Structure 1
Amino acid sequence: SILTPELIGALSTANRVLGFVNAPSMMQFAVEKAITCNIDKSVEWYKERRDLLYKGIIDAGLECNLPEGAFYLFPKVPQGCTDFRFSAILKEKLVLAVPGTAFGDSRCVRFAYCCDVDTIERVIPRIAEALKIANEEKEKINYSIEVLPTEVKYVIIDTQDGYQLSPLGYYGDSYKCFLGSELGDIVSSECISNNATYFPDYSGGTSTTVPPKPTKCDDGTADVKQYAKGLKFGYIKDASNDELKQILSRVGPIRGVINYYKDDDMLDRDQGILLQQDQDQWIIARQYIEPNIEYDEVTLYIEERIPFIHADGGTNSKITGDVFYYDCRYPTSETSSSVCECPEELNILSIDAIKDTICVIYCNKKTIDTPEDVCPCPDKKDKASIKADPRTGDKGICSSGSVHMTFNLIKAIQIFPTFAMFL
């Protein structure tokens, strides 16, 4: 058989879960004989290593809960970085971490501390180096932070809290950066520096205030050139498969997570860039990071298919994700008509938000139903226009009024003298 990426992933997970994480049956028989053994020394052995690694990653700047009975730590990955990406950076530093996706939480990675103290002492500075690299990659969003207002108000739907305020800077989550991209668009890092030490709340920051929104590039002469104007950020939560079909058709691909359920119980989850449907499957682009001799590593996206419903008795699915898109309800003069198509029917275009922005009303395409306030009726003296306008017929909206009355008046003048000749 051919080893596909799906099969490799399934075998790897099965090997890890059945052979290492869950206790094998032979080991359970051995434990039965040793159940009365004193384990105080083993507990102290693990506690020493837990405390050492925990202090190291907290000092490095990672967030983590202190475990009370596990043999591993489960810290959050740096803001703006995925669990797979951070695991790959750690691997470059010869530190092995397992992406949290394998354990149901893509926000974290897992470090096991069932090893020698010397090993833990060696990896702590390497974890700090990996965190620095991940934060440097985050620096590409500087401009998006600088264009934000002094405070950002988060409206929290379906909660009693109402809203919360987040100060300007790197505080908060990635949604603040997305908002900055909406307000100030995207600027090349060749123009605006990505040195995040300009921000007071950034690790190693040297400033006490956030820099103002730049109007010139760092060289002081070139104007700031903005890209992706008009793009909006959207967040989708717990959409059904049918709802996602409609969303994809309107806004395009979505980066998201699909949670598979059997009634109210979650069976499994998967993630990727959801592209479109193929019968009862989603076509997704899944990210893979592979080593490369020339570039150290390369990021690949491979097309795969995942089911709407889980094969193991699944009943429903919920999709959560985010997307950048053009909001055609509120276009700007720079929004492309190839992105937001203009309605062909003038009566529909006349009430559409994109009228007079990117779409122009051409009255040479009018029909018998085109309203007069969209395309005025032709001048009564312009016989050619009257003849060409489909609304000047007997049932058209331009058949009544001054044009129709003029025709009736002409007929009356011709008929009345005829009657007078016979009086």
Structure 2
Amino acid sequence: MNDTTTPRPPLSRIPPDVLCAQDYEALAARFLPAPHHTYIAGGSGFEGTLRANRDAFEHLQILPRLLRDVTAGHTRVMLLGHELRHPILLAPLAFQTLAHPQGELDTARAAAATDAGLVVSTLSAWPLEDIAACSRGEKWFQLYFQPLRDSTLDLVRRAEAAGYGALVVTLDAVVQSPSLRAQRAGFRMPDAVRPGNLLHHATPPQVELERGQSLIFQGLMREAPTWDDLDWLMRHTRLPVIVKGVLRADDALALKAAGVAGIIVSNHGGRALDGVPASLDALPAVRAAVGADYPVLLDSGIRAGSDVFKALALGADAVLVGRLQVFALAVAGALGVAHMLKLLREELELCMALAGCATLQEITADCVTHRPA
């Protein structure tokens, strides 16, 4: 698709050529303006981490067990005291009206229709209350610390009042690393796409740098959260706090010790610091550090039910799906997202059945092996 091609409007039916969840990725380019598609599909920097996320899944193979009775099989999982019918959640993605006019509202409807956990971004195009009204299931609010604590606390109180069950604090993307691919494609955020949760928040005064000071260190990072900010947040909310963006075992252990309710092993889908490990590669060391009973989720790179299986085998309790949800949203709105989730769950169930695993608890490290070089 080139810059002059007019994108197709979203469909009101399931596309007949979508046979697996990943098909939505290829199809989405027909339904998005080229710069928008480039922005959504791309990663930061030279996209080494973006590629590493998929390579990690491709290099892991499944070792099936034979002669196992799986006729009582299911995909139920307990997270933060709540039972979910399957371990596939929708990751927080900003500005989903780039893909579809209904944006996060349709995503929430799809989550409700498929009993999928929903994580709503601070930078959603629709207000968090409107999104919550479209969701009847388990939903969490993803929180970016704001420059002013009053603004952060306002978001927290609104999430609590709207019925969100947890706060997901993202800590690996304090500064947005540029996407060279999106810049070269000429992507600019449309004026009509704005952060619906922040429209009435006060804008802090711009920092005046002194001669010789760094735009990064003394400028952009001046308001970056610290351990003190995380401690302050946990003292000012009744909701469990989950930290997203963990790649190091020592950070995971420190977060657990600090009282964080769970962690998400994530490299922001390759959209934060380029050159960090694939989330899947970082997962085993993180799980070993925090122990077997501590909630650990994973995102970045999920494209198929077999990917979910591999993540669970290496220690994840559940996964979050990012780009696939917005690709499906662009193609067919809520129906597309719901269909994508249905396909992912069926792909996971088929993988479990053929691998001899009746429950998620039976998906263990000996179910996978690394492909020989």
Category of TM-score, reference length = shorter chain: under 0.3
Q: Looking at CA atoms only, which structure, 1 or 2, has the larger radius of gyration?
A: 1
The structure with the largest strand share of the pair is 1
Higher relative contact order (CA 8 A, sep 6+): 2
The structure with the largest helix share of the pair is 2
Q: TM-score, normalised by structure 1?
A: 0.21
